[in-house]
Amino acid sequence: MTREEVISVIKQAAEETGHVPRMGELLKTKRISQYDVRKHFGVYASALNACGLEGQGSGYDLNMRQLFTDWAEVARRTGRVPTVGDYEQHSRYSLKPLMRKFGAWPRVAAGMAQYAREDGLEEDGKDVLEVVATHLEAQRKNPRTSKWSTPRILRPGLMKGEPVYGSPTVDAHLMLAPTNEQGVVFLFGAVARRLGFVVLRIQTEYPDCEALREMEPGLWQLVKIEFEHESRNFLLHGHKPEKGHLIVCWRHNWEECPLEVIELRTAVKELE
């Protein structure tokens, strides 16, 4: 299925249902698969953006009411405060409106509860607010340690004569963008599971990596991956496309590439 065909299916589903379709709704039509979306867009939110279907409504209050109603529906369906995966699967919107409003996904639940109280939605959303309250209370009782804290057994102590730095102020697997293929390998390993991969083997010959990939919910297949800093380097290295399934790179600059390409600089932003 081509990129244009994916866009056409999503737009047609939007016309038929009268709203931005959820990924789950699209899968039920049997006209498209998660693989089709991932192949051309990486994540579903990017596909919605390409269709011009991200935002709906006019004005802040209307948008927030729509977002709260939709978020509450996902919470009721899953029986918990929605995770990113829950929201991508069941919401009719992308993550971006909530991320822009609240800054980070862990803040969404508390933000939604505050909005419901301020807008007089406590009675209609009573069941959802109870779920949020339970969730926040559990977080309060079991606070997580800093994401930058290191197990004591791995702390060697300060080195004499070497400079000392403070903790990182941003959550990043790789602090700076990769400048070579090794950086791409490291970064992919850090985010592979969130992209739907489980790495089986890394090797020095082509292809660089064998991994299992979730093609449809609960169904995995073996894929062969080649790492490149820029996708066009695949040509310079003389690799045969028929022996691989996809290229993982930092920058995609090969429009005629016969393989699927995952551009990490784009994919990482979408994950954030």
Statement: residue 168 has pLDDT above 70:
no
Q: Which is more confidently placed, 23 or 4?
A: 4
Q: Which is more confidently placed, 198 or 141?
A: 198
pLDDT confidence band for 22 (50 / 70 / 90)? confident
Share of the chain above pLDDT 90, in %: 37
Statement: residue 261 has pLDDT above 90:
yes
pLDDT confidence band for 248 (50 / 70 / 90)? very high
* Apex 235 CA angle, 230 and 237, nearest 5: 90
Distance (Å) of CA 138 to CA 8, 24, 115, 237 = 44, 29, 21, 52
| pLDDT tens by residue, 197-216 | 999 999 999 999 999 998 87
Whole-number Å distance between alpha carbons of 73 and 128 = 9
pLDDT confidence band for 149 (50 / 70 / 90)? low
